[in-house]
Amino acid sequence: MDFAFPPRPVPMELVAGRGHYERVVQAVLTAKRSVWIATANLKELMVELPRGRRGGRYRSVLEAFDELASRNVELRILHASLPSRPFRDEFDRHVRLVAGGLKLHMCPRVHMKTVIVDARLLYLGSANWTGAGLGAKGTGRRNFELGIVTEDEPMLDAVQRMFEFVWSGAACKGCKLRDSCEAPLDLPIPRESGNVRHETRSLYARSSDGMFCCGM
């Protein structure tokens, strides 16, 4: 998809550093309907426990995703490379997510970083879905990131169309890298019991030695 919109006034907020966590991550944790995430890198992300919750100070965001999935919040992540091992290990602990509560599609051409919450709030910026990118790490350890947050409907519509264009596999037909892609998103999903984690066109098949690989 190629486009360039003409200039017009758009209300937005500029976020940097910890601002990503306060504005973007917190919006994700309180989503009511849907969370769509696009990221080049996908890693485990530790988030602060809600006030009054017993236990340690932090928990995996995948635990929070599991709770969102239990309330039928649609969870999608579009990413470019295999998630980190800590992410994959934590993912496996949540039966609801493995069964399809969190859908993951992988396309090696994805480099956009966006978060869309409830089709109402849009983040666009430099931050990947990682602790260092989204301000979850402490001062002096997190990345230097910048982004904008807006509820502008035309921008939301344009970004959601682009997300769906990649997610659905519509971009695969004309992709010049298709021949080297291990799992084009427009191919059917095999339904071999025990071999795939969930029904998504980006699959992480567990091989006999316990390692993960990208497969169809």
pLDDT, tens digit (0-9, with 9 covering 90-100), for 188-202: 865 543 333 334 433
The answer to whether residue 122 is domain-embedded is yes
- pTM greater than the 0.85 cutoff: yes
Cβ 76 vs Cβ 37: under 8 Å: yes
The reply to whether 184 falls in a domain is yes
Looking up residue 40, the CATH number of its domain turns out to be 3.30.870.10
Residue-wise DSSP of 115-160? EEETTTEEEEES--BSTTTTT-SPTTTS---EEEEE--HHHHHHHH
CA distances 26 to 18, 23, 40, Å, are 11, 6, 21
Q: What distance in Å separates the CA atoms of residue 63 and residue 101, rounded to the nearest whole number?
A: 12
126, part of any domain: yes
The SS3 of residue 38 is strand
Return mean pLDDT, the chain: 87
Smallest CA-to-CA distance from 11 within 122, 99, 110, 109 is with: 122
* Residue 7 maps to a domain: no
Task: Give 79-99 pLDDT, tens digit per residue.
Answer: 999 999 999 999 999 999 999
pLDDT for residue 135: 85
For the segment 61-79, what is each residue's pLDDT rounded down to a tens digit? 999 999 999 999 999 999 9
For residues 184-190, give the mean pLDDT. Answer: 83
On whether residue 8 sits in a domain, the answer given is no
How many domains does one find in the chain? 1
Domain with 45, as residue range(s), is 13-215
| Residues in a beta bridge with 214 | 204
In a domain, 3, yes or no: no
The arithmetic mean of pLDDT across residues 168-172, rounded, is 96
